[in-house]
């Protein structure tokens, strides 16, 4: 197992375009999280899944953002009609939620630049 994998690592897109990121969690991890990290800030929670169910969404997640985890394994995060303010590092994490506060393992992130 190579840990949490995110693809692509970098994405440059023009404003108004749609982008999709993929996250492959650690095998058998039932929880998957998405965070966003802007320059000089800590990661901010966006949403999380337990298996295929999306259990919580942050108010940061506008209606242009959608996340899926169709089979409870990998997840995708799509941003429609990108704006310059969407430029950030998008981090995925996974955990095996057997008890509260279980350690989350993070991927290396996808860096999005909107020009």
Partner 1 sequence: AQSVTQPDIHITVSEGASLELRCNYSYGATPYLFWYVQSPGQGLQLLLKYFSGDTLVQGIKGFEAEFKRSQSSFNLRKPSVHWSDAAEYFCAVGPLGTDKLIFGTGTRLQVFP
| Residue owning tokens 């997640």 | 61
Rounded CA gap, 56 and 109, in Å?
Answer: 20
Q: Which stretch binds partner 1 (CB under 8 A): 19-27, 60-68, 71-79, 105-113?
A: 105-113
Distance between CA atoms of residues 96 and 12, nearest Å: 32
Per rule CB under 8 A, is residue 45 in the interface with partner 1? yes
Residue 96 and residue 104: Cα distance in Å, rounded? 8
Minimum CB–partner distance for residue 43 and partner 1 (Å): 5
Query: 36 is written with which tokens?
Result: 């966003």
Query: What number of other Cβ atoms are within 10 A of residue 29's Cβ?
Result: 19
Q: Between 22 and 41, how does the x/- string for binding to partner 1 read (CB under 8 A)? A: ---------x-x-x----xx
- Kindly state whether residue 56 participates in binding partner 1, applying the rule CB under 8 A: yes
* Interface residue list for partner 1 (CB under 8 A): 3-4, 31, 33, 35, 40-45, 48, 56, 91, 93, 95, 97, 100-109
């Amino acid at each position: 197992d190579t840990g949490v994998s995110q693809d692509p690592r970098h994405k440059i897109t023009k404003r108004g375009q749609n982008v999709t990121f993929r996250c492959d969690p650690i095998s058998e991890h039932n929880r998957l999280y998405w965070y966003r990290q802007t320059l000089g800030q800590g990661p901010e929670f966006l949403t999380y899944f337990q298996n295929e169910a999306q259990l919580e969404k942050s108010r940061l997640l506008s209606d242009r953002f959608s996340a899926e985890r169709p089979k409870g394994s990998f997840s995708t995060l799509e941003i429609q009609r990108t704006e310059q303010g969407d430029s950030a590092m998008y981090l995925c994490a996974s955990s095996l939620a057997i008890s509260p506060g279980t350690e989350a393992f993070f991927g290396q992130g996808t860096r999005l630049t909107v020009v």
